[in-house]
Amino acid sequence: YDPDTYDPDGPVPWTPEPGPYDPKTYTAWGRKHFGEEWYKLRETILRERNIYRISDPVYLECQKALRVIEHKIEGRLFRPVLRPPTPAYSHADDNDGNINLSRFSTYDPTPLPREPSPVPVFGDVWERLEYERKRSCWSEKEYQFERIFRKEERIDWAGAKHEDQEGDRQREKGLEEIEKVRYIPGTAMKSDEYERRMRQFNHRAEGWT
**Tens digits of residue pLDDT in 60-94:** 999 999 999 999 999 887 776 443 333 333 333 44
Q: Kindly list the distances between the CA atom of residue 60 and the CA atoms of 23, 49, 161, in Å, as whole numbers in the listed order.
A: 19, 9, 12
Neighbours of 38 (CB within 10 A): 19
What pLDDT digit, counting tens, does each position of 152-187 carry? 888 899 999 999 999 999 999 999 999 999 999 999
3-state SS of 80-123? CCCCCCCCCCCHHHCCCCCCCCHHHCCCCCCCCCCCCCCCCCCC
pLDDT at 70: 94
Neighbours of 23 (CB within 10 A): 12
Q: List 183's β-bridge partners, or say none.
A: 190
Query: 1-5, 34-38, 119-123: which range is least confident on average?
Result: 1-5
Query: What mean pLDDT is reported for the chain?
Result: 80
Longest dimension (CA), the chain: 69
CB 76 within 8 A of CB 14: yes
Return the percentage of the chain with pLDDT > 70, whole number.
73
Picking from 141, 148, 119, 140, the residue whose alpha carbon sits closest to that of residue 131 is 119
168 alpha carbon, distance to own chain's centre? 12
